[in-house]
């Protein structure tokens, strides 16, 4: 057999995405180029790796076994590269981080300098909701996770990064003068929620429950950006992290609505499984965070003190 690493990479991506079109987009290749490489790879086997039923591509059982072996070969190749750069005195390897959705406004600042100083490192950041972040930790799929609420069921180590404050906000067009009370704000105005599994949604629900407000109009959206855009369009109010609305407040597109008991305060924490054996890259990043977090906050997040 004379397969190439390039063919292995393409085949693994096709298996992962179940689509030649999606694989070509992900790999920045043309669809014909991917199809040709798949055909050349297939020609080396007497048994079909994939089959097309209708317009849907399926991976055969044999193809799935070959994909597992191909992925193992690719990973071993990466290990050789990492060991080579390590022998040359360079830090190399993969760093995998799962981040709660709002963490996308935080995490880049706490990794940019480390990543720039270590160009041999491969970085993977999965931005999702809290429930999926916890699942990634539980399954040992990541080195670290960025969360604002520590999950109870896992034994974790953590480093506190910075505070996370949540405020009730409305668009500049929202006229608070017309509302008779804060109770009316929550009971007679549409409220915009994140989806179930979101830490922001949980904080918002706990606050409303504690106050005893009865929500009559509810809108549910699946991302912080979607919630922000809905508030900007004056569809309703929402309790959101301050970290995600800096520009909208600066441009006076959004307004913070003063409410007793708000803002809610939590902390962004970098967490990892207590039993996890951290890689050299992960250990180096942990030392970087402990050493540099205060200066990063001073440099990039002083603006939060204005609110």
Q: How confident is the model at residue 177 (pLDDT cuts 50, 70, 90)?
A: confident
> Which burial class, exposed, middle or buried, applies to 22 when counting CB atoms under 10 A from its CB (0-12, 13-18, 19+)?
middle
Query: Which residues 6+ apart lie within 8 Å of 300 measured at CB?
Result: 109
- How high is the pLDDT of residue 88? 55
Second-level CATH architecture of 5-87: Orthogonal Bundle (1.10)
Averaged pLDDT score across all residues of the chain: 90
CATH code assigned to 93-162+267-306: 3.40.190.10
**How are the residues of the chain apportioned to helix, strand and coil, as percentages rounded to the nearest 5?**
50, 20, 30
Q: How confident is the model at residue 81 (pLDDT cuts 50, 70, 90)?
A: low
Compute the distance between CA of residue 229 and CA of residue 250 in angstroms, rounded to an integer. 16
> Which burial class, exposed, middle or buried, applies to 228 when counting CB atoms under 10 A from its CB (0-12, 13-18, 19+)?
buried
| Domain assignments of the chain as residue spans, ordered by start | 5-87, 93-162+267-306, 164-266
Dihedrals φ, ψ of 109, to 5°? -70, -30
Residues 272-300 have pLDDT tens digits of 999 998 888 899 999 999 999 999 999 99
* Segment 186-201 mean pLDDT: 92
CATH superfamily of 164-266: Periplasmic binding protein-like II (3.40.190.10)
Is 181's pLDDT higher than 90?
no
Token couple for 88: 């040359």
- How high is the pLDDT of residue 112? 95
Query: Which residues 6+ apart lie within 8 Å of 27 measured at CB?
Result: 9, 10, 13, 34
Give the range among 21-30, 83-92, 124-133, 253-262 with minimum mean pLDDT.
Answer: 83-92
- How high is the pLDDT of residue 230? 96
Q: 146: closest CA among 244, 304, 272? A: 272
Q: Do 5-87 and 93-162+267-306 agree at the fold level? A: no
Neighbours of 212 (CB within 10 A): 8
Residues 166-176 have pLDDT tens digits of 999 999 999 88
> Which burial class, exposed, middle or buried, applies to 137 when counting CB atoms under 10 A from its CB (0-12, 13-18, 19+)?
buried
E strand residue ranges, the chain: 50-53, 56-59, 93-100, 121-128, 144-147, 156-171, 191-193, 218-220, 238-241, 254-256, 264-273
């Amino acid at each position: 057999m004379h397969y190439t690493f390039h063919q292995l990479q393409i085949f693994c991506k096709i298996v992962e995405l179940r689509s030649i079109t999606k694989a070509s987009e992900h790999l920045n290749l043309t669809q014909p180029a991917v199809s040709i490489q798949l055909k050349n790879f297939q020609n080396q086997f007497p048994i079909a790796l994939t089959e097309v039923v209708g317009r849907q591509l399926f991976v055969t059982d044999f193809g799935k076994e070959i994909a597992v072996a191909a992925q193992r070969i690719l990973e071993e190749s990466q290990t050789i590269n990492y060991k080579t750069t390590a022998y040359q005195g360079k830090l190399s390897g993969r760093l995998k981080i799962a981040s709660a959705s709002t963490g996308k406004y935080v995490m880049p600042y706490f990794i940019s300098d480390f990543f720039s100083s270590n160009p041999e490192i491969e970085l993977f950041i999965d931005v999702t909701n809290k429930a999926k972040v916890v699942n990634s930790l539980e399954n040992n799929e990541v080195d670290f996770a960025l969360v604002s609420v520590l999950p109870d069921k896992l034994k974790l180590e953590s480093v506190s990064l910075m505070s996370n404050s949540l405020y009730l906000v409305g668009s500049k067009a929202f006229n608070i003068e017309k509302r008779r009370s804060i109770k009316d704000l929550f009971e007679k105005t549409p409220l915009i929620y994140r989806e179930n599994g979101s830490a922001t949604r949980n904080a918002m629900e706990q606050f409303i429950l504690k106050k005893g407000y009865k929500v009559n109009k509810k809108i549910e959206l699946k991302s912080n950006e979607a919630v922000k855009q809905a508030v900007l369009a004056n569809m309703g109010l929402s309790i959101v992290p301050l970290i995600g609305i800096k520009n909208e407040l600066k441009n006076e597109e959004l307004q913070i609505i003063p409410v007793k008991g708000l803002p809610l305060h939590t902390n962004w924490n970098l967490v990892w499984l207590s039993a996890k054996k951290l890689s050299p890259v992960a250990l180096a990043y942990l030392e970087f965070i402990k050493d540099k977090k205060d200066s990063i906050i001073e440099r990039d997040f002083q603006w939060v003190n204005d609110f």
